Structure 1
Amino acid sequence: MTYAPFDPALDETPYGLQKHLGFELTHWDEDYARLELPLAPHLMNRAGIPHGGIYATLLDTVMGFAGCYTGTADHKKLALTLSLTTNFLSRPRGGRLIAEGWRTGGGAKTFFAEGSICDETGESIARGSGAFKVRATTL
């Protein structure tokens, strides 16, 4: 699927966890989001590969963004995770993680999403699914 170019006006100021981990939102559109994370030493586990919590965090975040697109920076929508399933498939071969999320269904207050993580070589690393509740208030 082809998506329109990312509108930089929709990019939000990075929050604390995002700054610490180092991921950035590289695309956001109706029912779709993409995050990228360069691998760094503070993301690794004792075996020298990214900690599984990094994959879960990226999937949780990218799926949440996928269900919260409004198309305008003046009207933000937020989501709370109700459930999250993460399946670990492989280890990265490259130096950058690419997470993609798709809103797959739901309604105005609850939505469902699926996500995947690969690296820049195309290695499929993790997949996930989740249920999310749209927050009652917007920013």
Structure 2
Amino acid sequence: MKDFRDLLIKVYSETNQFGRLLGTELTKFEEDGIEYKLVISKDHLATPTTAHGGVIAAYMDGIMGVAALHRSSADGNLVSTVEFKINYILPVRKGDVLIGKGTIISKGKRIIIAQGEIFNQESGELVAMGTGTFNAYPHQKSGMTSLDFDFI
């Protein structure tokens, strides 16, 4: 199944246009959790110095979603977000380098509960935290029809 997981994350990285637009970089994709990096640029700002909360929310959704994806891919499944909650703790400013960490709290047959934390890399401070619910579904329903996942 590791071959499927490797192929899946490669395809996801190539097709995730929103993640590319946001500027996220997947730096860890492991059983004990995932890590995403994001450097806050002028395109992320709501004020002259501070990032828009929607950027942080989208980033958090990606952090928790990819953690859920890692877990679901062991069964040949992808995930979609059902809901999530975010707590904003500290402001994020232009030039900040953020490290997002995602882990799994619980996994059932179809429902995965994930948690995410976003840290300012320089200060080490927690800037946001969240929990989310994700639905696992068969990869055949993904629309990635041009890819051959049938080897599993």
TM-score (norm 2): 0.75
Give the match for residue 64 of structure 2. 63
| Residue number in structure 2 paired with 1:83 | 83
Counterparts of 1:83 and 1:40 in 2: how far apart (Å)? 27
Match of 1:126 in 2: 128
SS at match of 1:90: coil
Structure 1 unmatched runs, 5+: 1-7
* Aligned length in residues: 131
Q: TM-score scaled to structure 1, two decimals?
A: 0.81
Q: Per-residue displacement from partner, 1:6-43 (whole Å, max 9, x unpaired)?
A: xx874431521111111111101125111001111000
Question: Which structure 2 segments of 5+ residues have no match?
Answer: 1-5, 145-152
**Corresponding letter in the other structure for 1:30:** E
Instruction: Find the structure with the greater CA-based Rg.
Output: 2
Q: 1:97 to 1:76 in 2, by over 3 A?
A: farther
CA RMSD of aligned residues (A): 2.5
CA distance in 2, matches of 1:47, 1:40: 11
Between 1:86-95 and 1:63-72, the stretch displaced more is 63-72
Specify which structure has the higher proportion of helix.
2
Q: Is 1:135–2:141 an aligned residue pair?
A: no
SS of corresponding position for 1:45: coil
State the AA in 1 paired with 2:101.
E
**Sequence identity percentage:** 26
Mapping of 1:14-25 within 5 angstroms?
15-25=16-26
The aligned amino acid for 1:134 is: A
Q: Is the 8 A contact 2:76 2:138 kept in 1?
A: no
Matched residue, 1:38 = 39
Residue 89 of structure 1: how far off its partner (Å): 0.2
Change (3 A) 1:38 1:127: same
Q: How much does 1:88 deviate?
A: 0.4
1:113 aligns to what? 114
